[in-house]
Amino acid sequence: MRNSRFTRVARQHLRARTVGVVVCVLAIMLASCSSSSQASSSGKPPRFITVGTLYASVGQFSGSSLAQFAGLHFWVNTVNAQGGVYVKAYHKKIRVKIVAYDDQSQTSLASQEYTKLITQDRVNVAISDFGSVLTSVGVPVAQENGALLFDPTATTPSFFTESIFGNGNPDLVLTSLPSSAIWPMPLAQLLISKGIKKVAIIQSANDFDAAQATTVENILSSAGIVPVFNKTIQTTDTSFSSIIPLIQGANPDAVLEFGYASQDAAFLAALASSNYHPKFAFTVFPGGDVTSFAKAVPQSGFAWSYTYVEPPYLVENQVNYGMTTNQFISAFQAENPGADVNLATVAGYQVGLIVQATLQNSPSLSPISMRITAQKLSGHIQTLEGTFAISANGSQVGLYQPIGQFVPNGQGGVTLQTVYPPKYASASSVYPAPNSTQSSAG
């Protein structure tokens, strides 16, 4: 059960205005936001509903980006096989067409391509690329042009601090993961519950990871715990050979590494090749892409480490919209033989579902009308990711990420078990790690 500290912090991050107030304010603003770079419904129905997005074929974010893009493609193929998506603005089904550009994991290129999608292609629906870094340059483009940006996986809290209420633009709708500031709340509480007093933190220099580190530091501080080691590295850094000895020297009880997937893999691999195995090690992304990490990291790097448990490993088979987790995995792999299904794949499909629900219920394709509709849908849709619920600023607040631990399976691999909080747990966490090489002194 969450204690009062956890509840207070959660309320600070999850506080949202009521849907009634949101809809009222949005409706008042409708008249002033009637013009937009995105096409609105009038006259003859279009041949296609155009969905504009970016993907990265190469670079640091390519693996996750291409997986997200594949999930979105699967959604398009699914609705088109049914004759298209029903569009309330035209009272008919219309086929969906993707307009996509390759940003090659480069923010400078992504900025140009978001601008092209919104101002030149004038797509009906704009969807951002994977993650906060590649979405960051799309946010100002959408705001400056009065466009609505559907956001699958970018969770930086600052994206949602200047909403339609602050600048008059339709802004963002985060469709999958919650704001990264609330991700590590159960992690911090697990550390406290284990009596851990000495914590080492490595954080990547981006808002996504910094928000997680800040939340952990704040919760631990309220329990009188101050990190004994705290280092910020660049988002492109994947070498930990010089950092691990410094961490070892600080002799922490827990080591938390907040990075992107390539950094998580490099960190776990570095632990595997070192003679240092902490009592408690945590990384961000393995719990959303176990298969890929298992290929990149030796089993000894994974064993007994912790991570967030994400879809599809967090299974949801009670839905009222779209496919269940098991149905999605089966259908996606039937369409894409041999392909892995991970968090990014699910997020690509999920953003399609939210776009579909919005189009089915919005009286217009104008950005402001779709934003009002998305807010009305909040709390009423249960998908393979859980409850779709957004705050007044469009940030996702309906989903939850428990903590999991990788346990050796006796066959040279590991099994991810959900260990915290008790409500979600399928097993008890093992602390300290049986393979720990740390001294218990200090």
The closest alpha carbon to 300, from 436, 400, 391, belongs to 436
Give residue 3's pLDDT band: very low, low, confident or very high (50, 70, 90). very low
Q: Are residues 341 and 289 in contact, defined by beta-carbon separation less than 8 angstroms?
A: no
Q: What's residue 9's pLDDT?
A: 35
User: 148-151 and 171-174 as β-strands: parallel, antiparallel, unpaired?
Assistant: parallel
CB 201 within 8 A of CB 230: yes
Tell me the pTM: 0.86
Cα distance from N-terminal residue to C-terminal residue, the chain: 30
Q: Which two tokens stand for residue 244?
A: 């691990």
Please state, in angstroms and rounded to a whole number, the distance separating the CA atoms of residues 406 and 297.
12
The predicted structure's pLDDT at residue 225? 96
**How far apart are the C-alpha atoms of 253 and 221, rounded to whole Å?**
16
pLDDT greater at residue 289 or residue 32: 289
- Half-sphere CA count of 151, side-chain side, radius 13 A: 34
Task: Read off the pLDDT of each residue in 65-76 and give the average, rounded to a whole number.
Answer: 98
The residue assigned the tokens 């629906």 is 125
325 band by pLDDT with thresholds 50, 70 and 90: very high
pLDDT tens-digit map of 356-399: 999 999 999 999 999 999 999 999 999 999 999 998 888 888 88
Confidence of residue 34 (pLDDT cuts 50, 70, 90): very low
**Model confidence at 288: pLDDT above 50:** yes
Tokens at 297, concatenated:
């990291």
Number of residues that make up the chain: 442
Mean pLDDT of 93-119: 98
User: In the structure, what pLDDT confidence band is assigned to residue 439 with cuts at 50, 70 and 90?
Assistant: low
Asked whether the predicted pLDDT for residue 37 surpasses 50, the reply is no
Report the pLDDT value the prediction gives residue 196, as an integer from 0 to 100: 97
CA 12 to chain centre: 20
Q: 41 Cβ partners below 8 Å, 6+ apart?
A: 87, 89, 90, 364, 365, 366
- CA nearest neighbour of 9 among 184, 131, 150, 134: 184
Which residues, 6 or more positions from 149, have their beta carbon under 8 angstroms from its beta carbon? 126, 127, 128, 135, 138, 139, 142, 171, 172, 173
Q: How much is the mean pLDDT over the chain?
A: 88
pLDDT band at 24 (very low <50, low <70, confident <90, very high): very low
The mean pLDDT value for 260-277 works out to 94
- Dmax over CA atoms of the chain, in Å, equals 75
pLDDT at 41: 54
> What's the confidence (pLDDT) of residue 395?
87
% the chain with pLDDT above 70: 87
Q: Which residue has the higher pLDDT, 245 or 439?
A: 245
Q: What is the percent of the chain with per-residue pLDDT over 90, rounded to a whole number?
A: 76
Q: What is the pLDDT, as a whole number, of residue 8?
A: 37
Sign of CA dihedral 30, 36, 42, 45: negative
Cβ atoms of 244 and 271 within 8 Å: the answer is: yes
Domains and CATH numbers, the chain: 17-177+315-388 (3.40.50.2300), 185-309+402-420 (3.40.50.2300)
Mean per-residue pLDDT, 164-187: 78
Sheet holding 125-127, edge to edge: 85-87, 92-102, 48-55, 125-127, 148-151, 171-174
Sign for the CA dihedral angle at 382, 386, 387, 393 comes to negative
Q: Do 15 and 125 touch, CB atoms closer than 8 A?
A: no
With H, G, I as helix, E, B as strand and everything else as coil, classify residue 326: helix
Whole-number pLDDT of residue 440? 47
pLDDT-derived band at 410 (thresholds 50, 70, 90) equals: confident
Residue 36: predicted pLDDT: 43
pLDDT of residue 399: 81
Dump pLDDT digits (tens) for 326-353: 999 999 999 999 999 999 999 999 999 9
pLDDT band at 170 (very low <50, low <70, confident <90, very high): low
CA nearest to 260, candidates 157, 344, 150:
344
| C-alpha pair distances (Å), 342 with each of 66, 71, 349 | 11, 10, 11
d(CA 344, CA 280): 26
Query: pLDDT tens, 120-167?
Result: 999 999 999 999 999 999 998 998 898 999 999 999 888 887 544 345
Q: Where is pLDDT greater, at 388 or 29?
A: 388
* pLDDT computed for residue 55 by the predictor: 98
CA dist 66 and 75 (Å) reads 14
Residue-level pLDDT at 58 = 98
Residue 298 has pLDDT above 70, yes or no: yes
Q: Measure the CA–CA gap between 176 and 352, rounded to whole angstroms.
A: 11
35-44, 102-111, 227-236, 254-263: least confidently modelled range: 35-44
Spatial distance between the Cα atoms of 280 and 406, rounded to a whole number of angstroms: 11
Tell me if 279 sits within 8 A of 431, measured CB to CB.
yes
Helical H runs in 285-342? Answer: 290-296, 299-302, 325-335
Q: Name the 3-class secondary structure at 281.
A: strand
DSSP string, 87-101: ETTTTEEEEEEEEEE
pLDDT the model gives residue 45:
94
Q: CA-to-CA distance for 65 and 59, rounded, in angstroms?
A: 10
Question: Can you give the pLDDT at residue 164?
Answer: 43
Pick from 17-21, 224-228, 390-394: least confident = 17-21
How many angstroms separate the CA atoms of 66 and 152, rounded? 13
Q: Is 46 exposed, middle or buried (0-12, 13-18, 19+ CB in 10 A)?
A: middle
**Of 3-7, 35-39, 385-389, which one has max mean pLDDT?**
385-389
Determine contact, residues 253/193, Cβ cutoff 8 Å. Answer: no
